[in-house]
Chains A and B, each alone.
Chain A
Amino acid sequence: MSPVGRTYRIPLPALAAASLVLVTVALALVFFVVPNDADQGFSQRIFYFHVSIAFTAYACFAGGAWKALLHLWKRDPSADLESYVAVHQGLIFGSLVLLTGSIWARISWGHWWLWSEDQLVLFLVLFLFYAAYFMLRFSVDPGPQRANLSAVYALFGVVLIPVSFLAIRIAKHFIHPVVFTSNVSKNLPGSMLVTYCVAQAALLVLAYTLYRVELSGKRIDARLRELRLA
């Protein structure tokens, strides 16, 4: 049952180098190449990172749920740890979404928090939900039961994301009759689209690198504990 790593993966140093290059290129594009947005000006540039981080967080949560499903379904012995690490990365990127979203809201609308921003509110709900995941996980002793409970809760997350999104959308009709529309997502011009894609790729690779680093750290940890007990 020892969580032994699989060996076919891309080596970590290559991943780290790739994420370094991609993040540098993305930053250069965001700050020096792409033109200012016609409506929002310079501050709109945070969009490239804010939206990419949000998408990356979703990808992490989805990855965590997928590994959770593999744990329950195939009894894959390494899936529990992988699911946990993916959710952990998701929570980190989710916090960054809240942070960048707040900054953007402050610059654009003058408030640090806006209940009319679907994405922000959804990430607040998800933040609470996945923070409870950690409370759950750390109050059960390591073992098959902890793996099962964490996996089931991670699966709840993928159902909660669309349901909450829908709930926040329909809640607007009685909480905020006036809907803000940020016109950044509508028909991006070419250079903006390229910049967004590069930033998105950079963050996905970065998240995967961090995931792999944390995973290998956790595996060494587990192995060390095993050896100490042996």
Chain B
Amino acid sequence: MSYVADVRALARKDLLLELRARDTLPAMLLFVVATFVVFHFSLPAHSSELAASGLLWVAIVFTALLGLGRAFVPEREQHVLDGLVLAPCDRSAIWLAKAIATLAFLAVAEVVALPVFALFFHGIGTATVAAVVLADLGICAVGTFLGAMAVATRARDLLLPLLFLPLAIPIVVGGVGASVVSAPERYLGFLALYDLLFGVLCWATFEYVVAEAQ
């Protein structure tokens, strides 16, 4: 029970911080809309709807990357992570709370982005929406984890995309598959499997990412 309370307190902290400072969300919204405009001009006239569906996933991954890059910046600048590691809570709660907060930002960004996509390109089916939801879980779980890794290094912001993109390829495969084929079940199942596997892996190993020298 106290684990849930820890996670809730930590996630609440991130959401409150964003509500007051408004650092990340406006940037993500503006970025995703700007990406769509770029995509419109990068797609030749009369290109198929399928191409646009693929680009939706590019936009989602890069928008998420923008948010994830910011996720641990307050912790780094204010040395919050040192305090959190000392706090008497399970370390995986730090990851879970951060992933939930990032998921909330990404979800808000997509609530705006998907209708904008439908307006600019073509309508979106329920399979795509389901795939976006499942993909978001995986993106936030893995991305938050790698974000915590990246802030511990000298390269910092430079490193996150390099670490994240190879791991995001299966998500893109599942997402694009679910958006373009007529029977999306296997792709949705694949996304769920990805979420499950990497969720458990992140949850189990996060302790080592933030652990200080023993």
Contacts from A to B (Cβ < 8 Å): 72, 125-126, 128-129, 131-132, 135-136, 139-141, 143-145, 148-149, 151-153, 155-156, 159-160, 163-164, 166-168, 170-171, 173-174
Contacts and interface: CB of A to CB of B under 8 A. Distances in A.
B89 interface: no
B201 A135 contact: no
Given A139-B154, A159-B197, A167-B190, A153 B163 contact: yes
The 7 closest A-B pairs by CB, nearest first: A167-B170, A129-B166, A139-B155, A167-B173, A139-B153, A148-B208, A144-B213
Interface stretch (B41-49, B58-66, B69-77, B175-183): B175-183
A72 B181 contact: no
Nearest to A165: B170
Nearest to B178: A174
A47 B198 CA distance: 34
Contacts of B186: 170
Interface string B175-214: 0110011000011001001100110010001001101111
A131 B201 CA distance: 21
Contact of B211 (A126, A129, A148, A166): A148
A128 B165 CA distance: 9
Given A132-B163, A170-B187, 19 more contacts: A125-B169, A126-B166, A128-B165, A139-B153, A139-B155, A140-B153, A145-B211, A145-B213, A152-B205, A153-B149, A155-B201, A155-B205, A156-B167, A156-B198, A160-B166, A160-B167, A160-B170, A173-B181, A174-B180
Q: Is the interface of A mostly helix, strand, loop or mixed?
A: helix
B173 A135 contact: no
A135 B162 contact: yes
Contacts of A171: 173, 176-177
Contacts of B176: 171, 174
Nearest to B200: A159
Given A152-B205, A152-B209, A174-B180, A140 B154 contact: yes
Contacts of B173: 167-168, 170-171
B152 A167 contact: no
Given A152-B205, A163-B194, A170-B186, A140 B152 contact: yes
Contacts of A148: 208-209, 211
Given A128-B165, A132-B166, A145-B213, A152 B149 contact: yes
B95 to A, nearest CB: 12
Contacts of A125: 166, 169
Contacts of A170: 173-174, 177, 186-187, 190
Nearest to A126: B166
B104 interface: no
A167 B167 CA distance: 11
B130 interface: no
27 contacts: A126-B166, A128-B166, A129-B167, A132-B162, A132-B163, A135-B155, A135-B162, A136-B159, A136-B163, A139-B155, A139-B159, A140-B154, A144-B214, A145-B152, A149-B152, A149-B153, A149-B208, A152-B149, A152-B209, A160-B166, A160-B170, A163-B170, A163-B197, A166-B170, A166-B193, A167-B169, A167-B174
Given A144-B214, A149-B149, A167-B190, A174 B170 contact: no
Contacts of B177: 170-171, 173-174
Contacts of A149: 149, 152-153, 208-209
B190 A166 contact: yes
Nearest to B206: A152
A132 B149 CA distance: 12
A86 B187 CA distance: 33
A149 B211 CA distance: 10
Interface centre among B149, B180, B211 (most CB of A within 10 A): B149
B149 A136 contact: yes
B40 to A, nearest CB: 23
Contacts of A136: 149, 153, 159, 163
A135 B169 contact: no
